[in-house]
Amino acid sequence: MNMKYLYLALAVVLVGVVLFLAFDQDTSAPADAAAGLPEGHPEMGARQDGAPDAEGPTASNVREDYYQRVDNLKAKVEKDPSDLESALELARLLRDGHRAEESIKYFDLYLKANPNSVNAMLDLSVSHFMIGNRDEAMKLTQKILSIDPKNATAMYNLGALYASQEKFDKAREVWKDLIAAHPEDENSIRAKEALERLK
């Protein structure tokens, strides 16, 4: 395989991962969902090689109040599993704290009651991507696009997922559609940059 394409695929995947987290317009989620994360916290915990970050939260990369917030939310959800906002907040905190695998059950709990929540599905797809389950991330992204066919973040992420699979023609097609549908969107700007690197 041409090294240029390998490096491009890795760069595109990393940008896609960051975008997954950057998109969060679910106003029903508490505003302090990531309040316990340290300054400079890595967006996804994904390594440059695309492998999941196995380090996990440690005293050196997560503040003590993060652990306390997670414990409090776990207790709330355990006491009242119908507290879906706490479940969603907990899922996001776990994912952002390098605990993507653990976050999945809380995203699933939320999505069981809110099966068409595009933002929660975007978040869940990030968790799957972080643990190396790209097929599930792809399925979720495609489901999002079946609900909201012009969702700019999902369109960008779909292109990034295709690029990570070395399906560059499909990535180009999706990104060109994104740019046409949302010419001024931040995702389109990133898609243009990715397309330039694919040349």
Query: Domain 3-198, what fold?
Result: 1.25.40
Contact criterion met (CB below 8 Å) for 8 and 163: yes
* This prediction's pTM: 0.69
pLDDT in tens, the chain (199 residues): 555 554 454 445 444 554 444 444 333 333 333 333 233 323 333 333 344 444 555 556 667 789 999 999 999 999 999 999 999 999 999 999 999 999 999 999 999 999 999 999 999 999 999 999 999 999 999 999 999 999 999 999 999 999 989 999 999 999 999 999 999 999 999 999 999 998 7
Q: Which pLDDT does position 198 carry in this prediction?
A: 85
Q: Which pLDDT does position 55 carry in this prediction?
A: 52
Structural domain boundaries in the chain: 3-198
User: How many other CB atoms sit within 10 Å of the CB of residue 49?
Assistant: 8
User: How many other CB atoms sit within 10 Å of the CB of residue 132?
Assistant: 15
Q: Which pLDDT does position 181 carry in this prediction?
A: 96
**CA dihedral angle for residue 183, residue 185, residue 190, residue 195, rounded to 10 degrees:** -20
